[in-house]
């Protein structure tokens, strides 16, 4: 990969004559080793698309059916592959259609470079056709954004965009390029950006904090680790595993930390948060030391902050100084990339096995197993449960699949029960909770990991928010396996209405179309299952089919996801029913 990159840079660095801004952009993308772009053309980005046509041997463009589909696909690609996702969209509505995905990428720290076309610079501010001030609109939801009005700015700005998107805590960058800058001529030399003077991607680690943290860890009787996506973004999975295994500390995960440590690891004690596991939530309020690793104490994780881990000392391993003491006051903050800080602390911590403390997790696990999990995975009633669908998928994939989820009940159930043996395998919209994320994200994930099974698990509500991307699947033959868990409801909202709004099911019931017919309209093999006896065979058929496949599973209409920490309650007030 490195070699190709150097070759590409060498090829692109010496262009003696002037080239157009659009060609300069293509050469920048090649120099950044971009092989795939998700996008949608339109008036203000036509010069770039024209250039793309000439470079189609080098850069593959995936035409989605909506710009939101393009950006979610780029997110799925970026997250599964550990690369920057690239998106093209035109000005005006093209650009505004990206905003949901940009906000999603910002809150979930996904590296993206979004290129939007803009009206010619002499028309800026004139309310020209398809003009919108995307710089102002995207400012609060981008890590960085910039408008280019001259072709000569392109190489430097694009280099900076990729550097900012991928370095430190990653995030989305938007570059808006006026049409005249795309047409305009420029000299071209490309220098990869390696520093921006006002930007410090990774803070220095104070060795004293490592020592203080190690001391707390060595003294703790009942320590608990909670790891988040920082472990994945920092490529710190091995470092985490070594740290967990040496210290013998039970390790729980946030929804975005899922898959950083194999789910069957003996010290993996499950998910924290609103629909997390019973033991790690309950014991958050009994541990004497909470070790937060690359996570940000989201409100869905902490519940009521006034009663969150008050008895515990807290250590925070974190790359972003703005996250320290933002929601939870910590005793020791270890700044830096967790890959390095976890490695550096390893010699300072004692080997341990917290046998008695682990036994407390086991005790609570048994309660959850009996009261919740057993019914979820092996229900006795007539209707199918979401949990048993995930269980059967696990049985068939053995934890090797990439699971892409949308938002709602199915997401919580999938994250609770899906088995993972490899990192970067759980792709979901965590922070923003974007319904419609999964179908396009799965397309990107499949293209990012073509050799892996990619299964999108989606609710009937979220599926219809970006259902048009079936067209992209049809056109690209992306071998995405789509499983829609259909309860004819916006299930999570309905669950809240049942529990907290006296069963007033205000606008949550869906009259759904024939999903199988729709899939077949796109020539995607499709099946609908509503009987337990047919489920396993249908999953097998789906996995054995070459190319994409659509499976609708009719599930129990009014099942609820438990355990549950009601909004604003304490983590230890977690309900099992």
Partner 1 sequence: MQAQSFTVSVYTENNIGLLNRVTSIFLKRHINIESLTVSESEISHVHRFTIVVNTTEEQIQKIVLQLEKQVEVVRAYYHKVDEIIFQEIAMYKISTEHLYSSKLQQLFKKHAAQMVEIEPDFVVIEKAGTYEDTKALYEALVPYGLMQFVRSGRIAVTRPKMLISEILKQ
Shortest distance (Å) from residue 300 CB to partner 1: 19
Shortest distance (Å) from residue 169 CB to partner 1: 8
Buried b (16+ CB within 10 A) or exposed e, 263-282: beeebbbbbbbbbbbbbbbb
Residues 190, 194, 196, 199, Cα dihedral to 10° = 150
List 23, 32, 51, 67, catalytic entry: 67
List 179, 222, 481, 527, catalytic entry: 179
| 162 labelled catalytic | no
When the beta carbons of 139 and 517 are compared against partner 1, the nearer one is 139
Quick one: which segment of 71-79, 122-130, 318-326, 494-502 binds partner 1 (CB under 8 A)? Answer: 318-326
Q: Is 325 in the site for partner 1 (CB under 8 A)?
A: yes
* Residues counted in the chain: 577
First to last CA, the chain: 51
Helix (H) or strand (E) holding 498: helix 491-500
When the beta carbons of 63 and 135 are compared against partner 1, the nearer one is 135
- Are 304 and 310 spatial neighbours (Cβ–Cβ below 8 Å)? no
What phi and psi, each to the nearest 5 degrees, are found at residue 60?
-90, 130
Pairing outcome for strands 332-335 and 402-405:
unpaired
Shortest distance (Å) from residue 109 CB to partner 1: 12
DSSP for 428-449, written as a single string = E--SS--TT-HHHHHHHHHHHS
Q: Name which position in 17, 194, 198, 355 contacts partner 1 (CB under 8 A).
A: 198
Distance CA 62, CA 67 (A): 11
Site string for partner 1, 506-545 (x = CB under 8 A): ----------------------------------------
List 435, 447, 492, 564, catalytic entry: 492
| 492 labelled catalytic | yes
Shortest distance (Å) from residue 134 CB to partner 1: 11
Burial group, residue 304, by CB count within 10 angstroms (0-12, 13-18, 19+): middle
| 67 labelled catalytic | yes
Distance CA 315, CA 138 (A): 34
Total binding residues toward partner 1, as defined by CB under 8 A: 20
DSSP state of 285: T
DSSP state of 282: H
Shortest distance (Å) from residue 199 CB to partner 1: 5
Q: Is 320 in the site for partner 1 (CB under 8 A)?
A: yes
Q: Is 321 in the site for partner 1 (CB under 8 A)?
A: yes
Shortest distance (Å) from residue 322 CB to partner 1: 4
| CA 118, 119, 122, 123 torsion-angle sign | negative
Q: Name which position in 197, 310, 380, 504 contacts partner 1 (CB under 8 A).
A: 197
When the beta carbons of 321 and 521 are compared against partner 1, the nearer one is 321
List 54, 129, 238, 363, catalytic entry: 129
Site string for partner 1, 145-174 (x = CB under 8 A): xxx----------------x----------
When the beta carbons of 145 and 277 are compared against partner 1, the nearer one is 145
Residue for token pair 């998107």: 165
List 130, 286, 375, 556, catalytic entry: 130
What phi and psi, each to the nearest 5 degrees, are found at residue 251?
-120, 120
When the beta carbons of 3 and 197 are compared against partner 1, the nearer one is 197
Site string for partner 1, 105-144 (x = CB under 8 A): ------------------------------xx--xx--xx
Distance CA 258, CA 260 (A): 6
Site string for partner 1, 269-308 (x = CB under 8 A): ----------------------------------------
What phi and psi, each to the nearest 5 degrees, are found at residue 458?
-140, 145
When the beta carbons of 50 and 133 are compared against partner 1, the nearer one is 133
Residues 493, 496, 502, 504, Cα dihedral to 10° = 0
| 243 labelled catalytic | no
Helix (H) or strand (E) holding 317: strand 313-318
| 474 labelled catalytic | no
Active-site positions read 67, 129-130, 179, 492
Residues that bind partner 1 (CB under 8 A): 135-136, 139-140, 143-147, 164, 196-199, 320-322, 324-326
């Amino acid at each position: 990969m490195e070699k190709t990159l150097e070759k590409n840079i060498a090829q692109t660095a010496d262009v003696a004559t002037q080239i157009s801004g659009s060609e300069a952009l293509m050469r920048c993308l090649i120099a950044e080793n971009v092989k795939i772009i998700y996008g949608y053309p339109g008036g203000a980005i036509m010069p770039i698309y024209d250039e793309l046509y000439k470079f189609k041997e080098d850069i593959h463009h995936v035409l989605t059916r909506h710009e939101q589909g393009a950006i979610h696909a780029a997110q799925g690609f970026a997250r599964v592959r550990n690369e920057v996702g690239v998106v093209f969209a035109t000005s005006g509505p093209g650009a505004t259609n990206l905003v949901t995905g940009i906000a999603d990428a910002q809150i979930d720290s996904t590296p993206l470079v979004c290129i939007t076309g803009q009206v010619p610079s002499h028309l800026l501010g004139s309310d020209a056709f398809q003009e919108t001030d995307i710089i102002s609109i995207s400012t609060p939801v981008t890590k960085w954004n910039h408008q280019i009005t001259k072709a000569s700015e392109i190489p430097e700005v694009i280099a900076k965009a990729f550097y900012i998107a991928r370095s430190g805590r990653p995030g989305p960058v938007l570059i808006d390029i006026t049409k005249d800058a795309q047409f305009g001529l420029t000299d071209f030399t490309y220098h990869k950006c390696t520093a921006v003077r006002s930007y410090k991607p990774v803070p220095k680690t104070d060795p004293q904090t490592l020592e203080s943290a190690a001391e707390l860890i060595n003294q703790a009787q009942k320590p608990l680790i909670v790891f988040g996506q920082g472990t994945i973004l920092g490529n710190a999975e091995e470092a985490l595993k070594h740290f967990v295994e040496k210290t013998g500390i039970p390790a729980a995960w946030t929804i975005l930390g899922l898959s950083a440590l194999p789910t069957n690891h003996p010290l993996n004690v499950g998910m924290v948060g609103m629909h997390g596991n019973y033991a790690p939530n309950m014991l958050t309020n009994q541990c004497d030391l909470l070790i937060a690793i690359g996570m940000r104490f989201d409100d869905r994780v902490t519940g009521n902050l006034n009663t969150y881990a008050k008895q515990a000392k807290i250590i925070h391993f974190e790359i972003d100084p703005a996250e320290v003491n933002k929601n939870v006051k910590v005793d020791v903050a270890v700044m830096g990339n967790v890959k390095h800080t976890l490695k550096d602390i390893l010699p300072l911590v004692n080997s341990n096995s917290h046998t008695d403390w682990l036994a407390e997790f086991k005790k609570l696990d048994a309660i959850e197993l009996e009261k919740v999990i057993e019914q979820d995975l092996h229900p006795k009633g007539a209707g199918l449960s979401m949990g048993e669908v995930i269980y059967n998928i696990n049985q068939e994939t053995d934890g090797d699949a990439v699971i892409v989820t949308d938002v709602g009940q199915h997401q919580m159930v999938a994250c609770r029960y899906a088995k993972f043996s490899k990192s970067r395998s759980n792709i979901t919209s965590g922070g923003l909770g974007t319904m419609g994320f999964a179908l396009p994200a799965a397309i990107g994930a499949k293209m990012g990991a073509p050799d892996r099974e990619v299964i999108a698990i989606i609710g009937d509500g979220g599926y219809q928010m970006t259902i048009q991307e079936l067209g992209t699947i049809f056109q690209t033959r992306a071998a995405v396996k789509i499983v829609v868990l259909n309860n004819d409801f916006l299930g999570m909202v309905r669950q809240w209405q049942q529990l907290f709004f006296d069963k007033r099911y205000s606008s949550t019931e869906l009259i759904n179309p024939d999903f199988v017919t729709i899939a077949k309209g796109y020539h995607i093999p499709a099946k609908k299952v509503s009987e337990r006896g047919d489920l396993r065979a249908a999953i097998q058929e789906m996995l054995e089919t070459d190319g994409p496949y659509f499976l609708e599973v009719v599930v129990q209409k009014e099942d609820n996801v438990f355990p549950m920490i009601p909004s604003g309650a304490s983590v230890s007030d977690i309900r099992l029913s």
